[in-house]
Amino acid sequence: MITASQNTKVKYVRKLAQGNFRRKERKLVAEGIRLVEEAALSNWTMEALFYTLEAAESERVARIIERAETKGANLYPVSEQIMVEMAGTETPQGILAVLWQPDYALADVLPPGLPALVVVVDGIQDPGNLGTIVRSADAAGATGVILLKGTVDLYNQKVIRSTMGSLFHMPVVTAGDIEDSLEYLISTGLKLLIGDPVKGGPIFEEDLSIPIGIVVGNEGMGPRDEVLAVSHKKVNIPMPGRAESLNVAMAASIMLYEAVRQRYKIQ
C-alpha cells in the first residue's frame, strides 16, 4: 500500500501532467473506471495500475485489475489520499493507469481493403473540441485521425477525458511536416476536403464513399496556408438559419455523418 506523497511512483505520475515530460517519457495517464477499462481492453501497453482498496471492492474494477495483471502491468494499491494527489479530477474514482504512447504512423489510418475516412486536425486548441472530434470519428467508423503540428496535446488530461475512451479504439497520429504529411495522404488516393463557408460547395454534393480526408482548422483562424497549399476541395455545411458559424467539433461531426449516410446508402 502506497501512503506517502514522496513515494517516487507517486511523484512520477504527478510529473506526467507536464506536457514536456510526457513527450520525453512517451507515456500518459488514464484516469477513471471507464477510461482505464477501455485502455485495459485495448492493445495499448499498460505500465502500471494504481487503485484504492475501496475501488477494488467493485466487481468492475476487480475485473480491470485482473485484466491489467494479465497485460503485465505493475499493480499498486494506494490510499484514498494518495489517489486524490495523483488524480487530475476533484473526485477521482479510485483507479488510474500509466500507459505507453503508441507509435502510430500515417499508413495506419489507411487500412487495406477499406475506403479511408480520416479527420485531419489543423491547429485545434480547445481540449474539449479535440476530444469530441476523436469521439465522433470513432463513432462514425473513421479509419483514423491525424493531428498536424500546433494542435493541442492529445494526451492532455482534458482531451483524454473528452474522448470517452475512443482514443483507444483507432489510430490517432501526430504528424511531422505538414506539407509532406498531406502530400503523402494525397499520393495514396485520399481526397482532402476543407471547410470554407464562403467558397465551398455543399458537402452533401460530394462523393464521400471514396477515400476521404476531412480537414478541420483552428477555431478562430481556420486551416493554415500550408494546408491550403496542397490539392484539396473546398466544401461547406449549408446553414439556412441565422447562425454565423458552427463549433468546429460539431462541424466535423456533421461532415463525418454525411460520409456515414452515403456509405450506408451504398451498402
Instruction: Give the three-class secondary structure for 11.
Output: helix
The answer to whether residues 112 and 234 belong to one domain is yes
Name the residue range of residue 38's domain.
Answer: 8-100
Q: What are phi and psi of 3, to 5 degrees?
A: -130, -5
Residue that has been written with the C-alpha cell 483562424 in this structure: 221
Q: How far is CA 180 from the centre of its chain?
A: 22
The pLDDT, as a whole number, for residue 207 is 96
Of all residues in the chain, what percent carry a pLDDT higher than 70? 99
- What's the rounded Cα separation, in Å, for the pair 221 and 107? 28
**150-196 residue pLDDT tens:** 999 999 999 999 999 999 999 999 998 999 999 999 999 999 999 88
Q: What is the pLDDT of residues 26-62, one digit of tens each?
A: 999 999 999 999 999 999 999 999 999 999 999 999 9
Decide if 132 contacts 253 (C-beta within 8 A): yes
Report the CATH number that the domain containing residue 37 is assigned in CATH.
3.30.1330.30
59 and 16 in a common domain = yes
Structural domains of the chain, count: 2
Helix-helix angle 127-139:248-266, to 10 degrees: 10
The whole-angstrom separation of Cα 209 and Cα 166 is 23
Is the same domain home to 110 and 233?
yes
Handedness of CA 253, 255, 261, 266 (dihedral sign): negative
pLDDT at 89: 84
Query: pTM for the complete prediction?
Result: 0.94
Residue 244, domain member (yes or no) = yes
Residue 1 lies in a domain: no
* Last residue within a domain, chosen from 49, 73, 100: 100
Check whether residue 232 and residue 133 sit in a common domain.
yes
| Confidence tier at 266 by pLDDT (50, 70, 90) | low
